[in-house]
Chains A and B, each alone.
Chain A
């Protein structure tokens, strides 16, 4: 075993990011690390690369225990990392990037000629021949990614961690990078591949490990695991509370509150149609990057829609900015509570009145006594555990922070509230409380759009569930159709009717990457149809 991790634990204030995780990496394998946001993938990687220090557990590399304290130290030990974005310096040349910190020198000064030669030799190993004196910024992202890999391998040479390396590449570039990665595997490196593109995982990796909520769920051979099982592992069935397994009472059709038609934004979410009934909870299900959050952000005006319109009974709504969405009676509790949801240095009171004050305008401050009254009222109603309304919100646990975020929006008395991952990073007890709260809000007639990676949670609160894949709304499930297996099958895209339906709607270009070369090449146009079949993929690839 090349790299072996046992009982790795890492805690942050309020959350256990990794809870006794085991992980093994063999020399000469590509091992996928999978999980939703907050599952612990990036924490695990950061513990390996020295960005974080573990709280407990062991990491052994070639039988020797290691505890790197910086990326450089991890590199020297043999662990190299390539991240999705920040890898290299675009303002330096290709050669400078490749050899940064290891430039050949003559009499103390950098020997440009030797540097050029060595950089060229390094790239030649990867079948690249390019001018190493050009700025890195002038290279395509795929080339940059390969350069980053070349640098990481030359510095470390035992373990290569690829953290979402393909997120901004097109299909042809992905193949190029994958070719390099396979080649490295054959040379005996152990490669950890983190991605949320399942097609790529099945295409490239030998084994895979799934993490969820900071725990190790399963490690299996990729070839023997089917897609539905994998998604089941990733989205999990982790809730024990009985209440959470019940479905919300079906109260029949409701009066329509909002209607979105052809709502979409290029590059983020394909146009979708969506109705929201009064007092209805609509759940959005899908994997990370499937367009769940993107849908919510378009609706709330954070990334305003470029096509389509939104209406309520009184007419068309202007949702071009969050301010206007708030004016329309919308609220949005975002996914990343720490950076987008709370202002950590402000008190609970200040966090609660934030949106209310913003709507009134800063020229008309809410009286201090009134602020305190609102804060105390919500602390009591939502059972926020705190010593008082003046406590810094950053000192609260995750669950209580989330309640404060909810209180902020409830104070506005919105008619439509969007909750993006409302229970992320929250312990089990608070989890159930938040779900109870959602039930209560619905009783009072509020409409909600809930996004969650936990299917049980989604099923427990939603009257209807919309399934997303590849930035499209691909299925709507209601009533008896809502069940774990149906949702997972829809997400996995194994249901033939769903797949066909999507293709027929004319969304072929966005078909999953692995399918692009042959299976779903567009054949509507007569000229393409007349071509010999084997020319089609070539034509596609050459674009």
Chain B
């Protein structure tokens, strides 16, 4: 078997086994209502994790996304309150802004040859600060169009609600799969993650690719901000603190190599759902502290890092054993 696909299978297996365990205790968990909520509750996380996956595949990291989501919520809420613009126009403005923000960070990462960690750390503080600047308090969003978005859902068999934002998340994941695995740009991203020097020798336009990768991450962060504002009905500059780390955790649990160059976009979706499943279980149980989510996530991340290391060893050993 190809060692590269193994982490993806492991991810899927863990999710299925987890679901099985939950189902044995709480048969209700299989109902479409739970599934619908799983998608809705984790929509913003899933969307931003798609951007994060691409960044990590390219060998980088984007720490700014949590702050960008918070900024987006505040930006939308303040604009709707003060300007009277239509939400769709505000969305367009916001997405242009966050995409440009991401592109600028990518540009710095490439042209200054700075570690992505540092550049996006600066971006993280910048975006959070900008959100405070707009409003320190939580700003409620009251708009008919918003109420319409919040209420939009399709009824699934079993009375589960497939909400608009849940569908949007699935659509972003689908787009992410196509971009990462079916375009030359996506191949360039994998190439960069595999080795910058080699990628350049093979003709990857490193500058263009890096800028686009971070721009895409900015775009998904903005989109995630929109979804989060629909989900919560407000914008709050103290919200989504640490979401960037949760997104990174989803990517790693989804089987993507944290050092870049290997992984599957679909795995990230499974990673997000696994995380959501753990939370759902804790809600069902009722007596467990929500901190158990973090502990389980911690263990899973550790397990995946060990798995990846083991796989590298394994393929090395196979090669040394002279397999043609």
Q: Which residues of A contact B (CB under 8 A)?
A: 71-72, 75, 83, 86-92, 96-97, 100-101, 103, 105, 108-110, 130, 133-135, 137-140, 143
Residues of A within 8 A of B323 (CB): 138, 140
Are A109 and B261 within 8 A (Cβ)? no
Residues of B within 8 A of A92 (CB): 187, 190-191, 194
Q: Which residue of A lies closest to B200 (CB)?
A: A71
Q: Which residue of A lies closest to B316 (CB)?
A: A137
> Closest Cβ of chain A: how far from B122's Cβ, in Å?
25
Residues of B within 8 A of A105 (CB): 184
Considering the chains assembled together, what is the distance between the CA atoms of A100 and B199 in angstroms?
10
Residues of A within 8 A of B187 (CB): 92, 96, 100, 103, 110
Are A134 and B191 within 8 A (Cβ)? no
Are A134 and B2 within 8 A (Cβ)? yes
> Closest Cβ of chain B: how far from A224's Cβ, in Å?
36
Asked if B151 lies at the interface with its beta carbon under 8 angstroms from chain A, I say no
Could you name 19 residue pairs across A and B whose Cβ atoms are closer than 8 Å?
A71-B200, A86-B201, A87-B201, A88-B202, A89-B190, A89-B195, A89-B198, A91-B193, A91-B261, A100-B187, A100-B202, A101-B202, A103-B184, A108-B183, A109-B178, A109-B182, A110-B182, A110-B183, A138-B3
Interface majority SS on B: helix, strand, loop or mixed?
helix
- Asked whether A138 and B319 contact (CB < 8 A) given A91-B194, A91-B262, A110-B183, the answer is yes
Considering the chains assembled together, what is the distance between the CA atoms of A141 and B319 in angstroms?
9
Considering the chains assembled together, what is the distance between the CA atoms of A48 and B2 in angstroms?
38
> Closest Cβ of chain A: how far from B268's Cβ, in Å?
17
Interface majority SS on A: helix, strand, loop or mixed?
loop
Considering the chains assembled together, what is the distance between the CA atoms of A107 and B167 in angstroms?
25
Q: Which residue of B lies closest to A133 (CB)?
A: B2
Q: Which residue of B lies closest to A141 (CB)?
A: B319
Are A137 and B315 within 8 A (Cβ)? yes
Task: Kindly identify which residue among A83, A86, A96, A135 contacts B3, using a CB–CB cutoff of 8 Å.
Answer: A135
Asked if B318 lies at the interface with its beta carbon under 8 angstroms from chain A, I say yes
Considering the chains assembled together, what is the distance between the CA atoms of A88 and B261 in angstroms?
13
Residues of B within 8 A of A139 (CB): 324
Asked if B156 lies at the interface with its beta carbon under 8 angstroms from chain A, I say no
Are B193 and A100 within 8 A (Cβ)? no
Q: Which residue of A lies closest to B4 (CB)?
A: A135
> Closest Cβ of chain A: how far from B166's Cβ, in Å?
26
Which of A87, A91, A110 has most B Cβ within 10 Å?
A91
Residues of A within 8 A of B191 (CB): 89, 92, 100
Count chain B residues whose beta carbon lies closer than 8 angstroms to a beta carbon of A: 29
Are A100 and B203 within 8 A (Cβ)? yes
In chain B, positions 169-197 with a C-beta closer than 8 Å to chain A are 178, 182-184, 187, 190-191, 193-195, 197
- Asked whether A89 and B202 contact (CB < 8 A) given A138-B3, A138-B315, A138-B323, the answer is yes
Asked if B322 lies at the interface with its beta carbon under 8 angstroms from chain A, I say yes
Considering the chains assembled together, what is the distance between the CA atoms of A89 and B204 in angstroms?
12
Considering the chains assembled together, what is the distance between the CA atoms of A238 and B200 in angstroms?
39
Residues of B within 8 A of A109 (CB): 178, 182-183
Are A140 and B201 within 8 A (Cβ)? no
Task: Kindly identify which residue among A71, A130, A134, A135 contacts B201, using a CB–CB cutoff of 8 Å.
Answer: A71
Further contacts, 18 of them, CB under 8 A, given A83-B201, A135-B4: A71-B201, A71-B203, A88-B198, A89-B194, A89-B261, A91-B262, A100-B203, A101-B184, A101-B202, A103-B187, A109-B183, A110-B183, A130-B324, A134-B2, A135-B3, A135-B315, A138-B3, A140-B319
Are A89 and B199 within 8 A (Cβ)? yes
> Closest Cβ of chain A: how far from B97's Cβ, in Å?
27
Considering the chains assembled together, what is the distance between the CA atoms of A367 and B199 in angstroms?
48
Are B197 and A86 within 8 A (Cβ)? yes
Q: Which residue of A lies closest to B262 (CB)?
A: A91
> Closest Cβ of chain B: how far from A152's Cβ, in Å?
10
Considering the chains assembled together, what is the distance between the CA atoms of A508 and B281 in angstroms?
67
Residues of A within 8 A of B204 (CB): 101
Residues of A within 8 A of B203 (CB): 71-72, 75, 100-101
Which of B4, B201, B262 has most A Cβ within 10 Å?
B201
Considering the chains assembled together, what is the distance between the CA atoms of A96 and B262 in angstroms?
13
User: Residues 283-320 of chain B: 1 if any A CB is under 8 Å from the residue's CB, otherwise 0?
Assistant: 00000000000000000000000000000000100110
Are B322 and A86 within 8 A (Cβ)? no
> Closest Cβ of chain B: how far from A311's Cβ, in Å?
36
Considering the chains assembled together, what is the distance between the CA atoms of A263 and B2 in angstroms?
42
